């Protein structure tokens, strides 16, 4: 299979609306439709922002199937199928491939971590089992392990490993990765405060938390860059900086869950060990949202 760009621009790392009874499917459908109407280029379902790690296996599969049916091919869909249990990640990946997802987002293993050799073996095992492209997700602040550029270079040779969601924050490592891998791996920013810098490194866009709240404006930021208006793109990056900071003032997805609830997409409910946003931080978040005319 020839490697092609899965999507260019903004892929929203979508929240999963929850309440004490489980997944709020009415709110889930509503936010999926709104995101597509606002012009996002792809959706990531049941990733880490979607609280995939605390969904039961049945909920995870049901949510993937539900989102696939609601989206109905309108934008590319990426399934969060990563786990620190490789066998489970393989099972979820096979399931998402079977129901029709366009790609998988697979995070590095957390807690049990891995050596670089272990990462190569784990990602290779998942990719070998997949019939759809794999996007590797590097977020060392959350998992305690970093994918090194030399490891990306090895994994880039796999025909089913097509891209990276990079949330290391280390621009020098990203430049090194680009130098080693060239066009063999697309790179998406995993940090909303570094969209323009990673686009400048040849990035394909962002897998975004911010776009849960400001989808149209996040798309505009990427489009300006792609159209050659780098200054305009950077101006939007700066304009949204305070909101981005507020969205990460507590552990993700605590703030974005408060934000999407305020926008009318379900309850402000997260599963333990996450807890609802502290009132003083929520007040700052809502104030930052109002700057953009959001009625919250």
Active site residues: 137, 165
Q: What angle do CA 225, 293, 259 make, to 5 degrees?
A: 85
Helix (H, G, I), strand (E, B) or coil at 257: helix
Q: What is the DSSP string of 162-224?
A: EEEEE-S--HHHHHHHHHHHGGGSEEEES-GGGHHHHHHTT--EEEESGGGT-HHHHHHHHHH
As a whole number of angstroms, the distance between CA 163 and CA 202 comes to: 12
Peptide bond into 253 cis (omega under 30): yes
Helix (H, G, I), strand (E, B) or coil at 107: strand
């Amino acid at each position: 299979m020839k490697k092609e760009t899965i999507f260019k621009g903004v892929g929203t790392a979508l929240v999963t609306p929850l309440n004490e009874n489980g997944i709020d499917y009415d709110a889930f459908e509503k936010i999926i439709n709104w995101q597509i109407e606002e012009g996002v280029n792809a959706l990531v379902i049941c990733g880490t922002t979607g609280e995939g790690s605390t969904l039961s296996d049945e909920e995870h599969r049901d949510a993937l199937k539900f989102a696939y049916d609601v989206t109905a091919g309108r934008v590319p869909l990426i399934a969060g199928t990563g786990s620190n249990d490789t066998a489970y990640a393989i099972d979820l990946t096979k399931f998402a491939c079977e129901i029709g997802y366009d790609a998988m987002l697979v995070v590095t293993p957390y807690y049990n971590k891995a050596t670089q050799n272990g990462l190569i073996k784990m990602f290779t095992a998942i990719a070998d089992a997949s019939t759809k492209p794999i996007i590797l997700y590097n977020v060392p602040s959350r998992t305690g392990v970093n994918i090194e550029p030399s490891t990306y270079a090895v994994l880039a040779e796999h025909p089913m490993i097509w891209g990276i969601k990079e949330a290391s924050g280390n621009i020098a490592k990203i430049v090194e990765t680009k130098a080693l891998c060239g066009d063999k791996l697309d790179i998406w920013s995993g940090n909303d405060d570094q969209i323009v810098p990673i686009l400048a490194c040849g990035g394909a866009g962002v897998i975004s938390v911010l776009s849960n709240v400001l989808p149209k404006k996040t798309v505009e930021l990427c489009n300006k860059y792609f159209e050659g208006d780098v200054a305009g793109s950077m101006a939007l990056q700066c304009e949204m900086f305070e909101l981005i900071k507020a969205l990460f003032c507590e552990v993700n997805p605590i703030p974005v869950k408060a934000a999407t609830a305020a926008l009318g997409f379900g309850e402000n409910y997260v599963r333990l060990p996450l807890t609802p946003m502290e009132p003083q931080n929520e007040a700052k978040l809502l104030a930052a949202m109002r700057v953009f005319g959001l009625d919250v």
